[in-house]
Amino acid sequence: MSYLEDLRDVIRRLHGAEATHVESVPVKEVFQGQTVWEGIVEVFDLAGHPTAHRAYAWAHDGKRPKESSVAVLHIAPITSAAAAVRAALIQEYRNLGTEES
């Protein structure tokens, strides 16, 4: 399977919708002057999802989506690839805080 096919599979598994690739968007997220994430976010149109018409997906390592991936739905306030990355980073940070408690 190709990288994009793997991401489509992840979206189907996580969100129960069929995905069609639309574009690849480079995103660089900077916090307090430091790059905290940089990579390519794949944008997909969705069919069959009750509330979202689009999703943003990427693999943490950029190569193996089934092992380490993120798929974020386009639902306000997530309205862009950059916003999807920000939301995923915030969630990851929050998860780290609960694991350490």
Tokens 């639902």 found at: 75
Tens of pLDDT along 38-69?
999 999 999 999 999 999 999 876 666 566 78
The model carries a pTM of 0.87
Residue 93 has pLDDT above 90, yes or no: no
Our measurement of the distance from residue 49's CA atom to the centroid of its chain's CA atoms, rounded to an integer in Å, reads: 16
Contact call for residues 65 and 2 (beta carbons, < 8 A): no
